[in-house]
Structure formats: structure tokens, C-alpha cells
Amino acid sequence: MPVDVLLGLQWGDEGKGKVVDVFTPHYDIVARFQGGPNAGHTIVFNGRKYVLHLIPSGIFHPNTACIIGNGVVLDPITLKKEIENLEASGEQIRDRIYISRRTHLILPTHKLLDQASEQSKEDKKIGSTLRGIGPTYMDKTGRNGLRVGDLLSENFEQKHQQLIDKHKKLLDDYYGFEYDLEASAAEFAEAVEFLKSLNLINSEYYLNNALKEGKKILAEGAQGTLLDIEFGSYPFVTSSNTTTSGACTGLGVPPSSIGKVFGIFKAYCTRVGSGPFPTELNDDIGERIRQEGSEFGATTGRPRRCGWIDLPLLKYAIQLNGVTDLIMTKADVLSIMDEIKICSAYLTEEGETQEVPFSYSENVEPIYDTFPGWKKDITKARSKKDLPAELISYIELLESYLEVPVTFVSVGPDREQILETEPMAV
Ligand code: GDP
Ligand code: IMO
Ligand code: MG
């Protein structure tokens, strides 16, 4: 059986958590392959809302194993809190979580370095979630990092202290940055002991063996393609590969094992943090979308910037990921609009283009087509025939531009609020 991948095609928060939860009954294993607690994946069912940062979104289904892959960066403090909170609400989950020994650890000093780096950037801030993501991946690629498997080695404490000492020197170079290391030391030590009690595995073997046994695996992306370290709106990106290829390196499964690639996008577009956003609406319409769509970050609570859908960017993301199926979320939010705009090309100094420019936004003016809104409540729609004709035309237009079918449409945050538009066996 192949590994299917579900990932975001915009700047994150497309509704990945919700749809992974809906798809999970069709899979034996759900695996996170990159990012870390910068992610906030929301799942709503039975009148309750859960936000996951590190635990894969398949966790609410008792027959599915959840893997935190080698490509993830893991904060033991966040993981302990997340598991304990879920268990306190009655979910028995820890036996179903498996963590790669190769996963890199986020230390409290990584979070301090993230803060110090952001502070020093003044008006050039990336808008990081300050969860220590960038500094941890820097230590990984700089070959200084600590991994989950190191926790079991005799000289862990020595390696740990060496890394803290290195970080202290770096922190001292940030003029005026004050910090208190003692505050988190005991909490970190406790969280490390907790982590050691979990299932720590060689997940590349676990996953490849599962494939041989015919099991079905769903790789769950975090962030979105436009935040990818290679192809995103650099430097306003995260520090990992958020694309399909990241699933291979972040789990240790070969490219030939990839099956379906589900690309998920909102019917409009949002971004949290700084950086280019060609179709951003800095006006009343943007504010209405923000309020109607509850567009506030699931990790930091920051207001998300809102704008119209940007087809050149979506097409770029589809190309980079080899998307086979599109999933559209939050069309219900646009029900308030009299008319809806779609950016179908850009006007640049060289003329009209559908290609994403190097800088994403410099000297770029979006060219819009305008469509009538559907102005109907679609939150109770459960099949294509329940959708208004204007929305079906909107979807058909996207499909013809993007050359990939929209196979699912989500019409609200709840697990039940989704419909399949094309017959497709997941
Ligand atoms: P993720 O990071 O991609 O998992 O997305 P987030 O959870 O950060 O943000 C998506 C938000 O939209 C969450 O509050 C979801 O509960 C909500 N959501 C998901 N799908 C839909 C939908 O189709 N309609 C509406 N109105 N809300 C949705
Ligand atoms: P999910 O998985 C939206 C953004 C941050 C910032 C930039 C870098 O919930 O879709 P980082 O903390 O990685 O150093 O931040 O990336 N960002 C996200 N935006 N959704 C996310 O995750 C994000 N994770 C990081 O706001 O602009
Ligand atoms: Mg999110």
C-alpha cells in the first residue's frame, strides 16, 4: 500500500487537522513528518474542540497508530502537556503514539534564541510562533542537535550541557536580551523523563514494515507550501520542507511509495505573521472574512491576515507537490459575500504572468475576475446536490484553472461538515 500525503497549499491553517481526522478511519497509521509545535491543528466533534500541536490529528480514532517522524522537531514540554491534557479529558492515547528516535529536540534555549533573533530583527520580523523551530533546525543542519534517541545514551547530560553552553554564548551576543534559564530547567527535566517513558522507535523501519504488510499510511503536513523553506516566500517562511518531498525525508519512506497527494486550501486565503501576500485585503472585506471565519491563530491567537484566493500561487503549490486531489475548506465563510474575487494572474513590469515571481510580491499587481456570491447557508450541505449553482461554478472554474479535481468540500469546522464531490475511495 502507498503512503498518501495530505498537506496545505497556502500559508498554513487550511484545515489540515479537521480533514486528517475525517480521513483517519481509512488509514492504519497517521504520521507527522515536519514542523513542530508551531502547528495548531483544530478538530471539532461531539461539540468539543481540540487543538493539536505535536500529536498527529489521527489520534481520536482508537485503531490508528500516530507517528511523530524524524523530520519533526519536538518540544518535550509541549508534548507532555498535550498528552496529559488529552488524557485528562478522557482520551487514552499514549500507547498509540510512536516517536522516532531521530526526531530532534527543542530545548528551552532554542525558544529563547527564537525570541532573541526575532527581537533583533526590529521591523523585519518573520512573525515566528517563537516555539524554537528555526534554532532547532539550525542545530540539526549544523550538526549540533540533540535527538530523542540521545536521551537514552549515557552521556546525554554532557551533550545537553554542551549545547546549552553554546546557546548561552549566542544569547549573550544579543545585546540587551534578558533571560532566565532556571525557570524552565526543572520543567524540561520532568518532560524528558516523561518522553523517555513513551514508545520511542526507529520509525523508518516501523513505517516501511507496515507498508510491506499492506497497511495504509497518511502523512500529515504542517504549515503550508508557501511557508516551505525552499519555495515559500523566503525569508518569511518556516524552517522545514512542507512539501511532498518532505514526507519522504521526514519519515524515511521512498518517493516511489507515495500514492495520493491531497492538497488542501481555503476558498479564500490567509496568512499569519509577516511577509508578502499579493491578494491581501486591508479593508472591511478582509475584516468581515476574519470575523466570519474566526481567523485567529490556533497556536498564538494572532489575527490572521485575510485575502482573496490566489490561483497562480495555488497552481505553483500543486506543481511542487504533485497534488492528485484538491480539498477546499471554508467556502461557508464566503456565503456572506455579494461577490467573490479570484486572482487569476499578476501584472508585473514585464506584463501579465501566471508565474510566481521570485519575491512573491514586489511590483506585482493581482488581476482579478469577479463572480457572484452564493449568499446561502451551506453548512448543512452533505452532497454536491446541496450546493448552490454559483458555488459549483466557482469550484468548476478552480478545477479548470488548476487542472486537478476538487474531491472534497468542507462546509464547517465539525467532523460531520464535509462532502465528497467526486466519487473517490480514500
Ligand atoms: P490547520 O492548521 O490546517 O489544521 O488549520 P487550523 O486548525 O489552524 O485552522 C483552521 C480553522 O478553521 C479551525 O478553527 C477549524 O476548526 C476551522 N475549519 C476547518 N474547516 C472549516 C470549514 O470548512 N469551515 C469553517 N467555517 N471552519 C473550518
Ligand atoms: P499549521 O500547521 C500558519 C508561520 C508563522 C511565521 C512563520 C515562521 O497550523 O498550518 P515559525 O514558528 O515556524 O518560525 O514561524 O510561519 N507559521 C504558521 N502559519 N500555520 C502554521 O502551522 C504555522 N507555522 C508557522 O506565523 O509567519
Ligand atoms: Mg493551524
CA-proximal residue: ligand 1, atom 2 (nearest): 13
Helix axes 203-212, 244-251, angle to 10 degrees: 110
Q: What is the pLDDT of residue 349?
A: 87
Q: What is the pLDDT of residue 277?
A: 96
CA 303 – CA 219 distance, rounded (Å): 28
As beta bridge partners, residue 105 has: 74
Q: Which tens digit of pLDDT belongs to each residue from 301-317?
A: 999 999 999 999 999 99
Question: Is pLDDT above 60 for 281?
Answer: yes
219 in contact with ligand 2, CB cutoff 6 A: no
Closest by CA to 395, choosing from 420, 414, 413, is 420
Share of the chain above pLDDT 90, in %: 92
Q: Which tens digit of pLDDT belongs to each residue from 376-413?
A: 999 999 999 999 999 999 999 999 999 999 999 999 99
Nearest atom in ligand 1 to 264's CA? 3
pLDDT interval class at 424 (50, 70, 90): low
CA 330 – CA 14 distance, rounded (Å): 8
* Residue 418 backbone phi and psi in degrees, to 5: -155, 150
Closest by CA to 52, choosing from 263, 250, 295, 299, is 299
41 in active site: yes
Q: What is the pLDDT of residue 426?
A: 54
Q: What is the pLDDT of residue 90?
A: 87
Nearest atom in ligand 2 to 14's CA? 10
Which among 272, 277, 296 is the best mutation to test ligand 2's pocket, defined by most ligand atoms within 8 Å of the CB? Answer: 272
pTM beyond 0.85, yes or no = yes
* Residue 56 backbone phi and psi in degrees, to 5: -60, 150
Q: What is the pLDDT of residue 6?
A: 98
117 in contact with ligand 2, CB cutoff 6 A: no
CA 145 – CA 132 distance, rounded (Å): 13
Q: Which tens digit of pLDDT belongs to each residue from 132-171?
A: 999 999 999 999 999 999 999 999 999 999 999 999 999 9
Q: Which tens digit of pLDDT belongs to each residue from 230-255?
A: 999 999 999 999 999 999 999 999 99
Ligand 1 centroid to residue 222 C-alpha, Å: 13
Q: What is the mean pLDDT of residues 114-140?
A: 95
26 in active site: no
Q: Which tens digit of pLDDT belongs to each residue from 43-84?
A: 999 999 999 999 999 999 999 999 999 999 999 999 999 999
Q: What is the pLDDT of residue 388?
A: 97
CA-proximal residue: ligand 2, atom 25 (nearest): 38
Question: Is pLDDT above 80 for 423?
Answer: no
Residue of 41, 53, 110, 167 marked catalytic: 41
Sheet holding 325-329, edge to edge: 199-201, 97-100, 65-68, 29-32, 217-220, 3-8, 258-266, 325-329, 406-410, 418-420
In Å, what is the CA distance from 204 to each residue of 102, 260, 407?
A: 9, 20, 30
223 in contact with ligand 2, CB cutoff 6 A: yes
Mean per-residue pLDDT of the chain:
96
43-80 in b/e form (b: 16+ CB < 10 A) is bbeeeeebebbbbbbbbbbeebbbbbbbbbbbbbbbbb
Share of the chain above pLDDT 70, in %: 99
